[in-house]
Amino acid sequence: MNRRCCRFAGRGLLWLALVAAGAPRVAVAATPAASPNLVIVHTDEHSYRTLGCYRRLLPEDQACVWGPGVTVSTPNIDWLAAHGAIATRFFATSPVCTPSRASFVTGLYPQSTGAVRNDLPMRDEMVTFAEVLRRRGYATGYAGKWHLDGPARPGWAPRRDFGFSDHRYMFNRGHWKQLEDTDAGPRVKARNARGQPTYDLEGADETSFTTDFLTDRAIAFVREHRDRPFCYMLSLPDPHGPNTVRPPYDTMFAGLPFQQPVSAKQSGKELPGYAAVRSDRFNARQMALYFGMVKCIDDNVGRLLAALREADLLERTVVVFTSDHGDLCGEHGRHNKGVPLDTSAAIPFVLYAPGLVPAGTRVGTALGTVDFKPTILGLLGVPDAGRTEGRDASGLFRGRPAAAGWKDLAFVRIGDEGQGANRWIGAFTSRYKLVVSPTDAPGFFDLQEDPFELENRLGDPRYAATVRELKAELADYCRTFAEPLYAEAACRAALE
């Protein structure tokens, strides 16, 4: 059973003098006495089915898609969910790295940030939640993958910090497996004969393996700033591929009887290309290593929580666990992300906030990464700054009824002309998905009746009213937020 909540203790009035690059220079105000801390653990390409707190909410066939009892234990992330809240229908507003991350930090749809696809830089004028908190006197920092500064790789400590004042350990791109500190600053430890950084794992241990290394830096920041309000984002590049992990995690799940997901063995019915079942090779060894990366992440979440307890900070710290997008991990015969299928677009979102969020809270309405900034600022009681297109769902996490006019609805999109045929926009609710594309047929899915999205029910007369409603909502989103795909005749026609 879920239970328990605590209270935030008071905090002193402090000042933060450093002004962030990449955002308007604004004077820093005194921090309110009771301001809670904020720590975000943000993973990359993470299937929510690997987390125990999500599996417990699913029927057996959906919880164990890789075979009966084939699971990874995640007690630390599960603890956050049990003592806080879990959002069961939280979507990447665009299920690829750069646009999802841009929406997450700004509260804007990707087309408003300039970062509509991978490796495009976010616009200079964007105001992130970190910049808002910095202006309120928070110490702010970031460690790990950023992917919002263009093509630089690794790209340590980008010139534009967007409010994350301590960003020494921020790197722009790459899924490096080993990191180290040097006199010149952090760098990728594994190098080839020409001195170039590589993804090589040989020699990685609990101090150099990237998940461990970055968590150590987060712990150091927490300890350094224990006497002032702080905001820190720990952005782990795992469990994104390459699927490699240090010992003992590399063999921990090798003996599990992994099976190809059942959804990969069915042909589906009238599925558009973006939802079609494919025949990508399923590799049990790769899944065992993916599980190992998840287990390493959970153990490091445990280390971070222990550090907060040791510093007497856990009861006054909001902790968020989430990801930038999902990974199909063999479902529909596919891997990775970028499509509207559930474990590509739906992501884990766990929120621990003692005294603010009742233990055991479950938020089932559709939400997106675009909603994160207004929601977290609303929860912290901090007024937003700049333009925001997402919604403040903090009341739902506090256990309050939805505000008048609230809709169980999230808009998810991917693609511009640089992404070829994989372009689509969708209106998602907690149960239904309507997806239209300029290059493919529209699709409508009922996840209650068809949880693996194997049947396009667009032509089923039983859903006619729901389809009409979602078409109208999606068209309204397109007009309101200048959705580029609405300029495509096929998309407009599909929404008429």
Arithmetic mean of pLDDT, 147-169: 98
pLDDT of residue 385: 87
pLDDT tens, residue by residue, 417-440: 666 678 999 999 999 999 999 999
* Reported confidence tier of residue 42, pLDDT bands at 50, 70, 90: very high
Query: Does 439 reside within a domain?
Result: no
Residue 454 pLDDT greater than 90, yes or no: yes
Query: Does 377 reside within a domain?
Result: yes
Residue 487 pLDDT greater than 80, yes or no: yes
Is the CA virtual torsion 66, 67, 68, 73 positive or negative? Answer: negative
Average pLDDT for the chain: 93
How far, in Å, CA of 185 to CA of 180, rounded?
9
pLDDT of residue 250: 98
pLDDT of residue 197: 97
pLDDT tens, residue by residue, 238-281: 999 999 999 999 999 999 999 999 999 999 999 999 999 998 89
Q: Please state the domain count of the chain.
A: 1
Query: Does 348 reside within a domain?
Result: yes
pLDDT of residue 26: 66
Arithmetic mean of pLDDT, 470-495: 96
How far, in Å, CA of 139 to CA of 473, rounded?
40
Query: Does 440 reside within a domain?
Result: no
Q: Count the alpha carbons within 13 Å of 73 in the hemisphere toward its beta carbon.
A: 6
Query: Does 25 reside within a domain?
Result: no
* Reported confidence tier of residue 31, pLDDT bands at 50, 70, 90: low
Residue 13 pLDDT greater than 70, yes or no: no
Residue 176 pLDDT greater than 90, yes or no: yes
As given in the structure block, the two tokens for residue 136 are 């309120």
pLDDT tens, residue by residue, 63-88: 999 999 999 999 999 999 999 999 99
pLDDT tens, residue by residue, 271-315: 999 999 998 899 999 999 999 999 999 999 999 999 999 999 999
pLDDT tens, residue by residue, 216-235: 999 999 999 999 999 999 99
pLDDT tens, residue by residue, 329-388: 999 999 999 999 999 999 999 999 999 999 999 999 999 999 999 999 999 999 998 889
Helix or strand run (H / E) with residue 141: strand 139-145
Sheet holding 166-171, edge to edge: 166-171, 139-145, 230-239, 37-44, 317-323, 349-352, 85-87, 361-363
**Strands 317-323, 179-182: pairing kind:** unpaired
pLDDT of residue 20: 40
C-beta separation of 308 from 317 below 8 A: yes
C-beta separation of 150 from 172 below 8 A: yes
**Domain assignment of residue 94, given as a range:** 37-405
As given in the structure block, the two tokens for residue 285 are 């060894």
As given in the structure block, the two tokens for residue 353 are 């906030």
Distances (CA, A) of 8 to 76, 313, 316, 356: 21, 9, 4, 9
Residue 3 pLDDT greater than 50, yes or no: no
pLDDT of residue 23: 54
* Reported confidence tier of residue 1, pLDDT bands at 50, 70, 90: very low
* Residue 204: CATH number of its domain: 3.40.720.10
C-beta separation of 51 from 154 below 8 A: no
Arithmetic mean of pLDDT, 175-187: 98
pLDDT of residue 280: 86
Residue 17 pLDDT greater than 80, yes or no: no
Distances (CA, A) of 467 to 82, 187, 456: 36, 51, 12
Above pLDDT 70, what percent of the chain? Answer: 93
Residue 474 pLDDT greater than 90, yes or no: yes
pLDDT of residue 22: 54
Query: Does 219 reside within a domain?
Result: yes
Arithmetic mean of pLDDT, 447-472: 98
Mention every residue, 6+ apart, whose C-beta is less than 8 A from residue 422: 274, 338, 339, 414, 415, 439
pLDDT of residue 14: 34
C-beta separation of 133 from 382 below 8 A: yes
Query: Does 444 reside within a domain?
Result: no
Coil, strand, or helix at residue 33?
Answer: coil
CA-wise closest residue to 464 among 438, 432, 492, 486: 432
How far, in Å, CA of 128 to CA of 96, rounded?
19
Query: Does 283 reside within a domain?
Result: yes
